[in-house]
């Protein structure tokens, strides 16, 4: 039982007094584990550790919240190779090659990354694997850091990829560890699905030793690996057999288990749930008998049917989705509805579950209504700021993309018209031009970051060039994948394990793709930004690419902080222009209107100084 396992862990800590260390800062030399060693790990760290213990040798990923730390942790473990791929499709394909060649492979991505990787994934279920292959899909219910709330359970079912689903870090570790052998046994890649509350929640994990996995011998076998129709037809039939086998296993495995209620009215209420929701149901409905699913595709049909027979009222509790309830109903099982409907969107918690089941929840003080919002903002000194400020002045239609710079959509810059998905700025900008070409329209400007450009902007640009598209594309090259935590990318010459590589010349790459009008600009020079944008957007006969290059202020190695600036109060006319650029280091006095610079936050970028027509912002 779950409780016993925790008590066991507790005893281990009490008896042996193992100290807690953090994997993220542990050097390979320090990396020797004893049996029973406990560590406080996030779900992401635990998945990396579990994969490592299973003898997984190769890791490939594109960073994306909430998945990122998984590959960062894996990369620091001994005797592994790990790399950032330009995007999730490439990551899965590199992984597929390594798996076919016989090694165990981990590929990690956020939920929307699976969309990008869907093409290889669907057919990977046909080919199956050589060495075991595990793919992390880190979903983001509540959309803390994502553009949608998609539920990737549906991918498991659609692509025929079995899905494991942990409820805490220990299970994340244990499932990752067992997944590779399962993948090999059933000749299928496996998913492990986490959510923010698993990936970014820390709890104690009993870590173990590394299994000595000998890579399998690669043998040429076109009937398995060449998915042309003649062979794919055969693998399709094989897939059905493999799915049957894994479905039978799902009914046997203790990963799907029944957890009895507290005895107060056992047998009355039954709940089917998975992941973090299992923990919430344990808290909110202690009387409920729970069918805790550790495998959410394929579902354990017999277990579900037997569980349904054993309870008077059967519920599915799931988060921002109808996947599980639809699947259970498809088995011909009638589900009861809670007294009040569960929320259709956003994250659940025990409180929301108690409300739904008509329980009395604790009273609470209401949050005062007049509080100012505290949205995230571009950092003080962010090199993206002047570009958005100037695009706003141009009244451009700004076709945006995914990254820190998406914050350019928020006031006071408010300079973004669309954001859809990674790489869409360039291709959507082309679409805007096609639709508005014969009408009088505001200038159309696509804005994309360096990492996003490497992810999928390159293909979009290729399409625009090939089709003789026109317009302006701004590449905001801050030399990093900033929002996810300053990872290396295809252009900046920094690899995940600090192996040597080459820094790419962005302008050369863009020219090589067939763009003639390419200009590199320092975005901290306001005049240069304004002139470049004016020139590019005035031209209506060509495609212009403006590369705004300046390092992210969070980059400790390449960003050089300057002395903070200050306001000469005698010269400040209280016009408010400096404050309107939206720098968190700048404010104006509520009564006098005089501007003020916060010395702690100011990095001395001098952007505000260039906007002050009265020379009131000084360097010393």
Q: Taking CB under 8 A as the criterion, which residues in 237-276 touch other proteins? A: 262, 276
Q: Which position among 373, 438, 468, 541 is part of the footprint of other proteins (CB under 8 A)?
A: 373
**Comparison of 202 and 535: residue with beta carbon closer to other proteins:** 202
**Comparison of 239 and 378: residue with beta carbon closer to other proteins:** 378
Q: Which position among 254, 332, 341, 368 is part of the footprint of other proteins (CB under 8 A)?
A: 368
Q: Which position among 55, 132, 189, 204 is part of the footprint of other proteins (CB under 8 A)?
A: 204
Question: Segment near other proteins (CB under 8 A), from 2-10, 88-96, 558-566, 603-611?
Answer: 2-10
**Comparison of 144 and 395: residue with beta carbon closer to other proteins:** 144
Residue (of 117, 112, 57, 58) closest to 86 by Cα position = 117
Between residue 151 and residue 170, which ones bind other proteins under the rule CB under 8 A? 168
Q: Quick check: helix, strand or coil at residue 519?
A: strand
Q: Is 502 one of the binding residues for other proteins (CB under 8 A)?
A: no
Question: Segment near other proteins (CB under 8 A), from 27-35, 346-354, 526-534, 612-620?
Answer: 346-354
Q: Is 200 one of the binding residues for other proteins (CB under 8 A)?
A: yes
Q: Which position among 79, 209, 283, 619 is part of the footprint of other proteins (CB under 8 A)?
A: 283
Q: Is 280 one of the binding residues for other proteins (CB under 8 A)?
A: yes
**Comparison of 63 and 95: residue with beta carbon closer to other proteins:** 63
Burial (CB count <10 Å: 0-12, 13-18, 19+), residue 442: middle
Structure tokens at 453: 């450009």
What's the rounded Cα separation, in Å, for the pair 336 and 319? 17
Q: Is 24 one of the binding residues for other proteins (CB under 8 A)?
A: no
Per DSSP, the residues of 89-142 read: HHHHHHHHHHHHTT--EEEEEEHHHHHHHHHHHHHHHHH--SS-EEEEEEE-TT
Note whether 58 and 100 are within 8 A (CB). Answer: no
Question: Segment near other proteins (CB under 8 A), from 227-235, 265-273, 358-366, 455-463?
Answer: 358-366
Between residue 390 and residue 409, which ones bind other proteins under the rule CB under 8 A? 404, 406-407
SS3 per-residue string spanning 133-152? EEEEEEECCCCCCCCCCCCC
Instruction: Give Cα separations from 332 to 326, 327, 536 (angstroms).
Output: 10, 9, 62
Angle ∠(597,598,602) on CA atoms, nearest 5 = 85
Q: Is 565 one of the binding residues for other proteins (CB under 8 A)?
A: no
Q: Is 144 one of the binding residues for other proteins (CB under 8 A)?
A: yes
Q: What is the DSSP letter of 421?
A: S
**Comparison of 90 and 552: residue with beta carbon closer to other proteins:** 552
Strands 133-139 and 163-164: unpaired
Q: Is 33 one of the binding residues for other proteins (CB under 8 A)?
A: no
**Comparison of 497 and 587: residue with beta carbon closer to other proteins:** 587
CB atoms within 10 A of CB 584: 14
Q: Is 26 one of the binding residues for other proteins (CB under 8 A)?
A: no
Between residue 82 and residue 111, which ones bind other proteins under the rule CB under 8 A? none
Q: Is 379 one of the binding residues for other proteins (CB under 8 A)?
A: yes
Q: Is 320 one of the binding residues for other proteins (CB under 8 A)?
A: no
Q: Is 590 one of the binding residues for other proteins (CB under 8 A)?
A: yes
Structure tokens at 185: 């046994």
Question: Residue 76 CB, nearest distance to other proteins (Å)?
Answer: 18
Q: What is the DSSP letter of 418?
A: B
Instruction: Give Cα separations from 234 to 118, 225, 245, 288, 380 (angstroms).
Output: 21, 11, 17, 46, 59
**Comparison of 232 and 420: residue with beta carbon closer to other proteins:** 420
Question: Segment near other proteins (CB under 8 A), from 111-119, 291-299, 329-337, 354-362?
Answer: 354-362
What's the rounded Cα separation, in Å, for the pair 76 and 90? 22
Q: Which position among 28, 234, 411, 514 is part of the footprint of other proteins (CB under 8 A)?
A: 411
- Contacts of 510 by beta carbon, 8 Å cutoff, 6+ apart: 461, 475, 518, 545, 547
Q: Is 14 one of the binding residues for other proteins (CB under 8 A)?
A: yes
Q: Which position among 172, 179, 378, 510 is part of the footprint of other proteins (CB under 8 A)?
A: 378
What's the rounded Cα separation, in Å, for the pair 410 and 407? 6
Q: Quick check: helix, strand or coil at residue 263?
A: coil
């Amino acid at each position: 039982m779950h409780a016993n396992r925790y008590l066991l862990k507790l005893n281990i800590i009490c008896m042996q007094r193992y100290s807690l260390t953090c994997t993220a800062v542990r050097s390979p030399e320090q990396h020797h584990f004893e049996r029973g060693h406990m560590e406080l790990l996030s779900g992401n760290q635990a998945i990396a550790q579990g994969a490592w213990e299973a003898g997984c040798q190769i890791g490939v990923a594109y960073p994306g919240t909430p998945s990122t730390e998984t590959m960062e942790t894996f990369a620091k473990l001994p005797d592994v190779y790990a790399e950032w791929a330009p995007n999730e499709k490439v990551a899965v394909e590199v992984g597929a090659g390594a798996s076919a060649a016989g090694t165990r492979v981990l590929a990690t991505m956020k939920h929307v990354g699976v969309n990008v990787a869907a093409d290889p994934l669907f057919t990977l279920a046909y080919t199956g694997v050589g060495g075991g292959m595990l793919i992390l899909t880190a979903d983001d219910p509540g959309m803390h850091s994502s553009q949608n709330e998609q539920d990737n359970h549906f991918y498991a079912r659609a692509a025929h990829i079995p899905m494991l689903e942990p409820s805490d870090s220990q299970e994340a570790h244990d499932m990752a560890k067992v997944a590779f052998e399962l993948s090999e046994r059933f000749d299928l890649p496996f998913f492990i699905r986490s959510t923010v509350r698993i990936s970014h929640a820390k709890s104690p994990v009993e870590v173990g030793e590394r299994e000595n996995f000998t890579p399998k011998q690669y043998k040429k076998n076109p009937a398995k690996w060449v998915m042309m129709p003649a062979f794919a037809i055969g693998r399709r039939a094989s897939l059905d057999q493999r799915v049957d086998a894994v479905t039978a296993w799902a009914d046997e495995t203790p990963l799907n288990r029944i957890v009895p209620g507290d005895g107060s009215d056992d047998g009355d209420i039954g709940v089917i749930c998975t992941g973090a929701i299992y923990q919430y149901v344990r808290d909110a409905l202690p009387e409920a008998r729970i069918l805790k699913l550790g495998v959410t595709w394929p579902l354990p049909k017999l277990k579900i049917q037997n569980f349904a027979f054993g309870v008077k009222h059967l519920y599915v509790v799931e988060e921002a989705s109808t996947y599980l309830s639809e699947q259970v109903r498809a088995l011909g099982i009638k589900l009861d509805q809670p007294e009040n409907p569960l929320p259709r969107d956003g994250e659940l918690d025990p409180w929301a579950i108690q409300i739904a089941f008509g329980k009395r929840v604790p009273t609470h003080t209401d949050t005062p209504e007049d509080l100012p919002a505290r949205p995230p903002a571009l950092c003080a000194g962010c090199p993206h700021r002047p570009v958005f400020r100037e695009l706003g002045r141009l009244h451009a239609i700004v076709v945006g993309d995914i990254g820190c710079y998406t914050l350019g959509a928020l006031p006071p810059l408010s300079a973004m018209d669309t954001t859809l998905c990674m790489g869409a700025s360039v291709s959507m900008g082309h679409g805007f031009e096609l639709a508005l070409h014969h009408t009088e329209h505001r200038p159309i400007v696509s804005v994309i970051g360096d990492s996003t450009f490497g992810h999928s902007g390159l293909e979009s640009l290729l399409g625009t060039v090939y089709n003789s598209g026109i317009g302006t594309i701004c590449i905001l090259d801050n030399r990093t994948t900033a929002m996810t935590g300053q990872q290396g990318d295809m252009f900046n010459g920094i690899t995940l394990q600090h192996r040597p590589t080459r820094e790419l010349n962005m302008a050369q790459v863009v020219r090589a793709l067939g763009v003639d009008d390419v200009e590199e600009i320092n975005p901290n020079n306001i005049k240069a930004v304004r002139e470049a944008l004016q020139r590019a957007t005035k031209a209506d006969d060509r495609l212009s690419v403006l590369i705004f290059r300046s390092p992210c202020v969070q980059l400790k190695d390449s960003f050089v902080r300057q002395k903070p600036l200050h306001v000469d109060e005698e010269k400040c006319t209280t016009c408010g222009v400096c404050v309107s650029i939206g720098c968190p280091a700048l404010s104006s006095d509520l009564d006098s209107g005089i501007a003020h610079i916060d010395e702690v936050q100011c990095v001395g970028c001098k952007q505000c100084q260039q906007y002050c027509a009265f020379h009131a912002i000084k360097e010393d």
